[in-house]
Amino acid sequence: MALTDRFVRPTGFRQTLASCFLLAGTAITVGTALLFQYVGGYIPCALCLQQRIPYYVTIPLALIAFVAAAGRAPALLTRLLLLAIGVIMLVSLYLGVFHAGVEWGYWPGPTDCAQVGGGDLGSGDLLSAIDAIRPPSCDEAAGRFLGLSFAGWNAIASALFAAIALRSAVAKADRFA
């Protein structure tokens, strides 16, 4: 069966389940990053903020894909949405691997990496507040869990989400078919 034929065949359980998982998984992933930032006090570097962009794009696409798959919209729409999510997550995988490589010293990071905003600028003493903020450098991991930095975990999550999205974009409609 040609690849183009796979995009016009009906969608079903697999596509609905995959889009639901992608919606929940990407929302939880970026939500966790936001919790570490606002609750845990981790100030993200410029590359960390850049790694969130694919998630911000993927979440609404996954919601549309879920509604399309569950509502039995045209198969081509659902499959193309899942394909787009897969490609976006491959970009996220690249960003995660690049950032992890910068942290491990395999290659240099961007020169503007320490330029990031944040902090309490409404305290009344603006100059003191600005001087107190020390944005992290992209070549230093904010923390490691099981030997991987946040960028490394993002690469793993992105690879998982990309695999699920790309596989479900071309998979049969029903798991029993």
DSSP class per residue in 146-169 = TTEEHHHHHHHHHHHHHHHHHHHH
H or E segment to which residue 21 belongs: helix 13-38
Q: Looking at 56-60, 77-81, 83-87, 143-147, which range is the least confident one?
A: 143-147
Ranges 36-50, 85-99, 115-129, most confident = 85-99
> Which of the four pLDDT bands, split at 50, 70 and 90, describes residue 80?
very high
Q: Please check the confidence at residue 175 and state whether its pLDDT lies above 70.
A: no
Of the given ranges (22-36, 84-98, 105-119, 133-147), which has the lowest mean pLDDT?
Answer: 105-119
Three-class SS of residue 144?
A: strand
How distant is the alpha carbon of residue 111 from its chain centre?
23
The number of residues in the chain equals 177
- Residue 116, pLDDT > 60, answer no
Q: What is the pLDDT of residue 66?
A: 94
Mean pLDDT calculated for residue range 8-30:
87
Q: What was the pLDDT predicted at 131?
A: 60
Strand partners, 102: none
Highest mean pLDDT among 8-17, 90-99, 123-132: 90-99
The answer to whether residue 117 scores a pLDDT higher than 80 is no
What is the reported pLDDT for 177?
46
Q: What is the pTM of this model?
A: 0.80
Kind and range of the H or E element at 61? helix 46-70
Range picked from 130-134, 148-152, 155-159 for highest mean pLDDT:
155-159
